[in-house]
Amino acid sequence: MSGTYFLYHSIGMYPGKTEDLSRAMAEFAGVWGRTDDSQWAYALGKRQGFIDRWQAILNAPPASVTTTENVTSAVHMLLAALPEGHLRGRKVLVGADCFPSNHFLLNGMAAKYGFTLHTVPFRQGAAHVEDEDFLDAWTPEVGLALLTWVSSTTSHRIDLARMVAHGRRMGSLIGTDITQGAGLLPYDVTAPEVDFSVSTSLKWMCGTPGAGMLHVSPRLIGECRPELRGWFSQENPFNWDITAFHYAPDIRRFDNGTPSTLSALASLPALDWHAAQDQGEILAHNRRLTARLIEGADQLGLPLLTPRAEEKRGGSIMLRLPGSHPAPGIVGALRAEGITTDHRSQTLRLSPGVMTTVDGTETLIAALTRLLG
């Protein structure tokens, strides 16, 4: 039952997705299997279409967005490209509620690049890192701060403008992982201006795996020397003189060898669909359903891990299930009734999107009432 789909924090859905994706894959197979020379013009054109859609979503300057496999690879590409010694002897700042994959990466890079990873902890009993605690830890010793715009485990949304203003005063580079909000909440890389942004296309954007993106501010691009480089990193990709390598002047320097195009091509129908929608109505629909989920949680006496104030949360509602009812059993029972959710430990994650309905939300609340007794 599509009306009871609550998994937009993981994989986004929209009407006609199966048909759109099937057409895109069939078209690709038809072109790629042709015995002519049309393949690369077609595939690279689709990749550029994907980049153009993301550029519009971010309100990014031209030639400041490129493709990556995922958020983790995008963060690695950026850090490894910074000027030699920029982070040595300094701190990289993250919150304990960042996406764990980013923390695994940064922890592993610290020794090689000479920085100290400072992870801002939770307050006792808290489910997300408080903005005030992050700001207190953000001192002039911080060379780079990686902000999590919206938490994947609480849907807490940081005060981005306040964070960026503070970071500028500290003289830090500022990056933002926008994965859990992109495509639902308005985001502009120029207001406030950040140094880089990373995201996947999977969630509210309804795309496919492997379709990540990296945005780098034009102010920073010229200072970066990506470690992973190749023929597509050059100003002229068709330069074959192996003694004369020159980085492209724009975001293309973050490309390397022959680019992967299939994930961008497969996600482009979803991004095209998204661009044609009323973005305000998508958000308003989510707000109506999340408000009802909060009411339902209160009625059930379930602790709400997500901030109640709209301006302090993303598009998800996270609830703590009682220890007497293990989360895997609740999620499995809901699945058996056609209600799609997931969990992290005892946290039930609920994210209503365009295919989730009012009736579907009531069905979920009634099922939880029955299952929890």
Q: What angle do CA 353, 357, 363 make, to 5 degrees?
A: 120
pLDDT of residue 24: 98
For CATH 3.40.640.10, list the domain ranges present in the chain.
Answer: 37-275
* Rounded-to-integer distance, Cα 313 and Cα 298, Å: 17
Q: Which CATH number fits domain 37-275: 3.40.30.10, 3.40.50.2000, 3.60.21.10, 3.40.640.10?
A: 3.40.640.10
Lookup result for tokens 């999340």: 290
What three-state secondary structure class fits 112? helix
The H or E element that residue 94 is part of is strand 91-95
Q: What is the CA radius of gyration of the chain?
A: 22
Backbone angles phi, psi at 7, to 5 degrees: -120, 30
What is the CATH code for 2-15+278-371?
3.90.1150.10
Backbone angles phi, psi at 311, to 5 degrees: -70, -10
pLDDT of residue 1: 63
* Rounded-to-integer distance, Cα 269 and Cα 298, Å: 39
* Rounded-to-integer distance, Cα 301 and Cα 92, Å: 39
Provide the sign of the torsion angle of the four alpha carbons 83, 84, 85, 91, taken in this order. Answer: positive
pLDDT of residue 91: 98
pLDDT of residue 85: 86
Instruction: Give the DSSP letter string of 150-184.
Output: B-TTT-BB--HHHHHHHHHHHT-EEEEE-TTTBTT
* Rounded-to-integer distance, Cα 237 and Cα 369, Å: 60
Q: Is the pTM of this model over 0.75?
A: yes
What is the widest separation between alpha-carbon atoms in the chain? Answer: 72
pLDDT along the chain (373 residues), means of 10: 92 97 98 96 97 98 97 98 94 97 97 97 93 98 98 97 98 98 98 98 97 98 96 94 95 96 98 98 98 98 97 97 97 98 97 98 98 92
Backbone angles phi, psi at 313, to 5 degrees: -140, 160
For CATH 3.90.1150.10, list the domain ranges present in the chain.
Answer: 2-15+278-371
Torsion of CA 257, 79, 178, 192, to 10 degrees: -120
Of 124, 139, 137, 141, nearest in space to 95 by CA: 137
Neighbours of 324 (CB within 10 A): 7
